[in-house]
Amino acid sequence: MASRFSHAGMTEQANILRRRMALRQVRIARGAAYRHAAPRARIQWYVKYRSRTNRIVRRIVFAVLAVLIVVCAVLWYRGITATILSAVREVMRARTTEAVNEAIYETLSDPVRYDDLITVVHGGDGDIRAMTANAYEINRIARDCAYLSQKKLQSVSEAGVTIPLGAFFGIDALVGVGPGVTISILPVAVVTGRFTSSFDSAGINQTRHSIYLEVETELSVVLPGRTDSFTVTTQVLIAESVLVGDVPQTYLHANLFGSGYVVRGGQ
């Protein structure tokens, strides 16, 4: 009996020992699995973190590059626009002067005499008592010249302006280099035709009275994003006469011809 109990106790201890060994092996296996799994998880997290960080960095780099490209494009456009406007200004000055001179020549195709514009009244002592301007004739000439100048200026602007290709690089030294490129412009002109005069001494008790036709053109050249305005004034001697006798100071400093005739673009 005693040996039977002894055998049973040994069997139970062996079972307990086997269970402990099995638990230990399970723990060892779990620990090994954990040790093997932990680096992999850390690597996966690191790769995921780096990927997200790289995406953020790429987005920041792209945004900075986009801003730099936009700034460079704006600076480049402003530079070439200023150069192009300078070239267009000089071309339009020459065209405006030519158009106004042609208009004056056509308007004054019939000779204009001093007596057609000014009537001088002398007193009994030979001195000048009054000077009156022929308002109708003066206004007619100023109106016709301003209207014809406006019409000719619009006509020469329809063909556009030819600018050398070098002007598009924004460098003044290259403005006249390269083949011509024609660009369209929108000129907005205000033409004013007026008469002016001046009195100069021509000898003893003699005064030279000179009458000028003055055409003032206020021109605005409109390009995409920029507008440039300038004024071209053309003055032509129309008639003059030497007045004998004392001229009153009132006429020497007075405006005999009024403010002139204005023609705006589109009229």
Q: Which structure tokens are listed for 105?
A: 């020549």
**Residue 244 in domain:** yes
pLDDT in tens, the chain (267 residues): 445 545 555 677 777 777 777 777 766 666 555 555 555 555 565 555 566 677 777 788 888 888 888 887 777 777 677 777 777 888 888 888 888 888 888 888 888 888 888 888 888 777 788 888 888 888 888 888 888 888 888 887 777 777 777 777 766 666 667 777 777 777 777 888 888 888 888 878 888 888 898 888 888 777 766 777 888 888 888 888 888 888 777 776 667 776 665 666 544
Which positions ≥6 away from 222 have C-beta within 8 Å?
185, 186, 187, 188
Best CA proximity match to 200, nearest among 236, 243, 169, 230 = 243
Q: Taking the chain, what is the end-to-end CA distance rounded to the nearest angstrom?
A: 138
Residue 80 is assigned to a structural domain of this protein: no
What's the CA gap between 79 and 45, in Å, rounded? 51
Q: Per the domain annotation, does 230 fall within a domain?
A: yes
**Residue reference for tokens 């514009």:** 117
- Within a domain: 31: no
Q: For residue 207, is it within any domain?
A: yes
Q: Is the pTM of this model over 0.85?
A: no
Residue 15 within a domain: no
- Answer whether residue 191 is part of any domain: yes
254 within a domain of the structure (yes/no): yes
Tell me which residue range forms the domain holding 193: 91-264
3-state secondary structure string across the chain: CHHHHHHHHHHHHHHHHHHHHHHHHHHHHHHHHHHHHHHHHHHHHHHHHHHHHHHHHHHHHHHHHHHHHHHHHHHHHHHHHHHHHHHHHHHHHHHHHHHHHHHHHHHCCCCCCHHHHEEEEECCCCCEEEEEECHHHHHHHHHHHHHHHHHHHHHHHCCCEEEEHHHHHCCHHHCCCCCEEEECCEEEEEEEEEEEEEEEEEECCEEEEEEEEEEEEEEEEEECCEEEEEEEEEEEEEEEEEEECCCCHHHHCCCCCCCCEEEECCC
Number of domains present in the structure of the chain = 1
